[in-house]
Amino acid sequence: MTQSAVFVTGATGIVGSAVVDHLLQRGEPVVTAVRGVVKDGGTDAAGGRAGVTPRPFDFAMSPDEMEAALDGCDRLFLMRPPAIEDVRTYLFPLIDAAQRRGIRQIVFLSLQGVQANRKTPHHAVEAYLKQVDAPYTSLRPNFFMQNLTAMYGEEIRDHDEIFVPAGRSHTAFIDADDIGRVAAAVFTSEGHLRKAYTLSGEQSLTYRRIADVLSDVLGRTIRYVKPSEREYLDRLRKQGHPDDYIAVQKMIYRIVRFNISAFPNRVVRKLTGRPATTFREFAERERAAWER
């Protein structure tokens, strides 16, 4: 392999898989980080396609093993696995290995507003990238449209309702596929080193409007229930979610109600040459997730 592949962590996830797809569309070779043993070309999700090389990787590897995993790659897509809070122990060594290997760009999947939220692991990673003068590009996405399929799809499908404590606030949702499109664009064009991009959709929608669009697309009435914070958190407890998950959800929807996530932008359009996906386009594409 020539020194030109992109090493993609989280390659089987919602965002990582989109990054892989859009890199392949641009003719870029990809090495996908895969936990466990790789057999016969890898899995359908992370390998088995022209241009994709699956490679065993784990954030618990030794520094030398991490550096070896990057062999043949000159760029890195870095995302924090949700289960990892201790980024100093598990993500910083990969950044160090990338520096030793001479990786020329690290695209880090961060989150919107991270610069003002020092308690998040993403803030610590961004700070470390700057501290070691890594050739980073930070992507700071708004709420994913995929939240409506992955997190709330069952409630919409089975109960015809969206049950989140967002009040009358607006959110400029982003399609995860657009994040992958942006990542591929900044990996393959100049001028993005040591920059951070907030990625929002071009529409700012209330959850009531989201419910209206879903009703239209699905041909049945979807209601936005608008529960109180207490009602929402009580439901999470009854569903058996752990306390740390509930605390995160409490923080997230307080941010939503302050309309911090309400502001649309055209960064996706600027970086890729195409507008961000609208929620209606997303709903029509993903309608099977909510159909009975």
- Local confidence band at 46 (pLDDT 50, 70, 90 cut-offs): low
Same domain, 160 and 74: no
Same domain, 219 and 231: yes
State the total domains in the chain.
2
Residue 79 CA to residue 82 CA, distance in Å, equals 9
Flag whether 88 is in a domain.
yes
Same domain, 27 and 134: yes
Element at 234 (helix H, strand E): helix 229-238
Same domain, 169 and 116: no
Report the share of the chain in percent with pLDDT over 90.
86
Same domain, 165 and 260: yes
Q: Does the pLDDT at position 247 exceed 60? A: yes
Flag whether 52 is in a domain.
yes
CATH of the domain at 45: 3.40.50.720
> Which pLDDT belongs to residue 83?
86
Range of the domain at 165: 143-174+200-264+273-292
Q: Does the pLDDT at position 117 exceed 90? A: no
Q: Does the pLDDT at position 40 exceed 70? A: no
Residue 188 CA to residue 108 CA, distance in Å, equals 15
Residue 200 CA to residue 271 CA, distance in Å, equals 12
Same domain, 13 and 137: yes
Same domain, 210 and 242: yes
Minimal CA–CA distance to 180: which of 21, 49, 45?
21
> Which pLDDT belongs to residue 47?
53
In this predicted model, what pLDDT tens digit does every residue of 122-146 receive, in sequence order? 999 999 999 999 999 999 999 999 9
In this predicted model, what pLDDT tens digit does every residue of 193-229 receive, in sequence order? 999 999 999 999 999 999 999 999 999 999 999 999 9
Same domain, 150 and 71: no
- Local confidence band at 45 (pLDDT 50, 70, 90 cut-offs): very low
